[in-house]
Amino acid sequence: MDLPEEVVVNIIARLPMQSIVRFRLVCREWKSLTESAFFRDLYHSTSNSTSCNWSILYGDYRSLRPSLKQVKLDLPSSHGNNNPSFPFCFTPTNNEIKKITVVASTDGLVLLRLYEEDKKMIRYYIGNPVLPQWIQLPPPPPPKVDYMPFTDSGLVTRMHNNVALLGYKVVRIFSQALLFTSRTWRFETYSSDTGQWSITQVCRPGAALSRIDTSNPVTLNGKLHWLDHLGCIFVHDFFSHDDQVRAISLPEKLQCGPDTCRKIIFTTSQGYCVLVDAQLIEEVNSYNVRIWRLNSDCWSWGKAWEINMASVGLGSSCVPMAINYFDIDVIYLWDSEEKCFLAFNRRTLAKSYGARKADTFSSSKPFSCLSQFVPSLHVVPT
């Protein structure tokens, strides 16, 4: 007996994402249902959508057959992380490719950069590892000089009601603009709407001196946010016609310049840009952690919470790494003694340890932070 379409949609929307991805292959009708805006709205309104997330490591992977694999936190689902077992793997067919880099991830999409050293050629792939679906982008225009003046910077998306993916842009930045006293920035962007690369120039406020990490900005609502370690955050909306870059001052307590005993993580959680200020307090041999949240309506900072990790029995070996994408009260740490990830819930004071990763990470601090990838059913616009 055939079930009504509405009943089928309600049943499928409550299943784990692994099952939904498999069901898309059953028939054309189910594939059409799971790709509809109604299904996405229903799926995101269920509890499933708040528990499916994991983190991936930004980095280079070099081998005869290079590939990328997910970094799983292996933490209990009660902390909002079910670690679904999707294979996050991309293997090129050309063995001459020597370098693969995860450039960015946002709204369920991942941007890969493949570089062929012998041909001095860059290729970009954008895709959804969950479906899986990968699209090769047209190559950027060749540089007019021997070196490559534009460097990778990020990926921004245009969404409808935070559910439907309408379009995306790949952003490259003119590197020399950051080295000299320039008041303008030049971007080379690929737009899914036009299918072409273009160059734009924007004006930047404030002093020209900066210490910006252009390779890993925070993406939110079509904007890229670059952290300047000299005291502010630069923001630009790539889906607007604004030719200005906005400068946002950091919270006052963070405007004291670089500090070897302080770690600052810039990320997102619950739809906000978030700063994690982890300062090592030698007297108690632990980190004092402050969480700041940026209100984009008035571009002001508010302190979400603060805690001294010594008060919950966590010493300096437990290094803050990330905030949970869905819950700002859950922080992830790397325990260099136990060689595992640790989740701490500030509301409940609960601690959950993951599986040991001694064979995976040889360093006590394998990376500076984790960049979280949230699985989705978004079909990549072509």
Say what the pLDDT of residue 85 is. Answer: 47
pTM over the 0.85 mark: no
Contact 110, 374 (CB under 8 A): no
Query: Which residue carries 């790539």 as its tokens?
Result: 238
Question: Comparing 353 with 39, which gets the higher pLDDT?
Answer: 353
Task: Give the best-scoring range by mean pLDDT among 29-43, 111-125, 255-269, 321-335.
Answer: 321-335
Confidence of residue 275 (pLDDT cuts 50, 70, 90): very high
**Equal CATH topology for 1-50 and 51-373:** no
- Average pLDDT over the chain, rounded to whole? 79
Rounded to 10 deg, the angle between the 37-45 and 5-12 helix axes is: 40
Mean pLDDT is lowest, of 125-134, 159-168, 204-213, 358-367, for 358-367
- Is the CATH code 1.10.1740 the one for domain 1-50? no
**d(C-alpha 178, C-alpha 8), whole Å:** 54
State percent of the chain over pLDDT 90.
Answer: 30
Say what the pLDDT of residue 120 is. Answer: 72
Q: Is 353 exposed, middle or buried (0-12, 13-18, 19+ CB in 10 A)?
A: middle
Q: What is the mean pLDDT of residues 216-229?
A: 89
- Nearest alpha carbon to residue 130 among 70, 219, 42, 46: 70
**d(C-alpha 93, C-alpha 141), whole Å:** 24
Q: Quick: pLDDT tens for 332-375.
A: 999 989 888 899 999 999 999 987 775 555 444 555 667 777 87
Give the H/E segment covering residue 173: strand 164-174
Give yes or no for residue 69 having a pLDDT over 60: no
Say what the pLDDT of residue 38 is. Answer: 79
Say what the pLDDT of residue 255 is. Answer: 59
Say what the pLDDT of residue 82 is. Answer: 46
Give yes or no for residue 3 having a pLDDT over 80: no
- Report the CATH number of the 51-373 domain: 2.120.10
Q: How many CA atoms lie within 13 A of 144 on its CB side?
A: 0
Annotated domain spans of the chain:
1-50, 51-373
How far are the Cα atoms of 159, 160, 243 from residue 239, in angstroms, in the given order?
11, 13, 11
Q: Could you give phi then psi for residue 132, rounded to 5 degrees? A: -85, 155
Confidence of residue 54 (pLDDT cuts 50, 70, 90): low
Mean pLDDT is lowest, of 47-61, 187-201, 217-231, for 47-61
**b/e for 295-314, b at 16 or more Cβ within 10 A?**
eeeeeebeebeebebbeeeb
